[in-house]
Chain A
């Protein structure tokens, strides 16, 4: 299916929002407005943009802790995400999750998860439920290149194939599991080949290209909707920043970072839009202003929102309303 003008415009705006939001998050972390761990998505935007453009709103997604862009991409408001990063009661997890645990049931966003690889069986379970209920929804389960080395992935791939679960596993291979490069952790540096051990359709994808990501995702999702089971996509991407805010990323060269920045997905999409005359410079200025306003508004909203009341402490721990906590 050819990519339409609307999709290009969507990609651009969506990725620009992710980029500007994350730049602002980095600043706010420096100001200690955002605490805890904070993992920025800058550089990897094409993966979320290109996968989300190929799925439906009611397709559930789940990811790890580098999750701000996934929430935004799935439609969670910048306000709700920023407020969560601030730990405010108006955040998408009521200030109880923080950066790594964004959730939005309304947007079929099953969260950001903090244990590397822990979300992989969860993603298969979410897909299991869709299959069990007889929908044709497909779960998108994102994971990093580090998570590939967890036992959870291998157990899950086996069962997902055995039961033909409607799930697409999207490995965002940014080259580094925190500070350890893919080459230093394995003999199998072509991560997509892990899926082949389970006879799972698996392929490498240029994760800096929205078109490549979207097309691979489109094929995978169509197959899953028809009951033909899971797919493993290795998105080859790059993060411009360190693993988290505390990581100066001294394990890689400036040249390597510059090499990827030259392939920046936002710039590439912008150039394509201009070449195809889908929009003019005035449109880009308009989008830039809109995104700037959206991010600034999210910060204002987060600043002005209250922290959760102390009496929230014992709420949402159990669904049972009168659970007898030990208080003394």
Chain B
């Protein structure tokens, strides 16, 4: 099978859907003439023209709202945020607007829109460019939140997000855009809300999503060298969230370690831990552990970045703890 970059997978997803449906357009900062801040939309203006690939001024609140209004009136916008850090100035239109319009209108005005862009840290970018807001958006009913971890999933999930009838938050990463992976030439879709078991195992369940899956897989490989068999689950979509796959796995392995880039309070690790204690309490042989980013803004210095972020070492340590292995 051919291998392509994560950014190319996203581009193919958008372009394929745009060829099929005139009502889909892409809007955001630098998406057209500059070919995308991270080259995701490279060449798209050449193919689809300035009418459908639209550069905006730096006005996230304004163009997010224009996207929502256009979706209310029959179009299917893809709105790119250069990063989701910048989406905070637009969050009124996402949370007060897009997520509630269908219900407030008694079902009259669906908002089929995709807000996409990178989330989380990308190295030493400082505190304002290094945040993970997946749980903020996922907390809000009316939205769907998708966080792919590899090119194959990115393409299939983005195609599903674009044709989805509801507003979808689609979160990528600057640190994944260059990642290569196998992506078939033939068209395919991946259903939203379905986790994927990347690796079957028997000793412990590791759950993550998005680019943190790299950390999870690295940890699983190291653990395998020590004959510890980890089952690795990539959630792929965090709203709706596929609890069933996680519960099924925990009932088999009896141990769970959650890995997530967000800060520790009120996030998916707390949420899944709640779900597992409620629905699989008797299956647990150890407390559920989690690895999150430190409970601080992400500082600049490399030593502080390393100390703050989840790492394979931290995951391995947690796995040994739930397995009561003294290291």
Contacts and interface: CB of A to CB of B under 8 A. Distances in A.
Interface of A: 60, 62, 91-97, 101, 103-105, 110-111, 113-115, 118, 120-130, 132-133, 151-152, 155-156, 158-159, 162, 315-320, 323-325, 328
Report the contact-size class of chain B (Cβ under 8 Å from the partner): 35 or more
Contacts of B104: 93, 96-97, 101, 103, 111
Tell which of B25, B64, B66, B89 has the most Cβ of chain A within 10 Å.
B66
Interface string B71-114: 11111000000000000010011001100011111111110100
A122 B67 CA distance: 8
B106 A94 contact: yes
17 contacts: A96-B105, A96-B106, A97-B104, A114-B96, A115-B96, A118-B97, A121-B62, A121-B63, A122-B68, A122-B72, A125-B72, A126-B69, A129-B73, A133-B75, A155-B59, A159-B63, A315-B107
A132 B107 contact: no
B141 interface: yes
Contacts of A159: 56-57, 59, 62-63, 66
Contact of B65 (A94, A125, A129): A125
Given A115-B96, A126-B69, A133-B74, A104 B112 contact: no
A315 B141 CA distance: 12
Nearest to B243: A326
A125 B57 contact: no
A97 B106 CA distance: 7
B64 A121 contact: yes
Contact of A96 (B66, B103, B112, B141): B103
B61 interface: yes
Contacts of B164: 320
Given A93-B105, A111-B101, A155-B61, 10 more contacts: A97-B104, A97-B105, A113-B97, A121-B68, A121-B69, A125-B65, A156-B65, A158-B62, A316-B103, A316-B105
Contacts of A152: 61-62, 65, 92
Interface string B39-66: 0000000000001000011010111111
A139 B71 CA distance: 14
A166 B287 CA distance: 59
Contacts of A323: 166, 240
B308 interface: no
Contacts of A92: 106
Contact of A105 (B69, B71, B108): B108
Nearest to B112: A319
For the complex of A and B, the 6 pairs showing the least CB-CB separation, nearest first, are A125-B69, A121-B65, A155-B62, A94-B106, A319-B165, A129-B73
Contacts of B105: 93, 96-97, 101, 103, 105, 111, 316
B181 interface: no
Given A123-B69, A128-B69, A155-B61, A118 B106 contact: no
B87 to A, nearest CB: 14
Interface in B102-136: 102-110, 112
Nearest to B67: A125
B148 interface: no
A46 B101 CA distance: 28
B243 to A, nearest CB: 8
A320 B70 contact: no
A320 B219 CA distance: 37
Contacts of A324: 193, 240
B97 A122 contact: yes
Nearest to B66: A125
Contacts of B151: none
B166 A129 contact: no
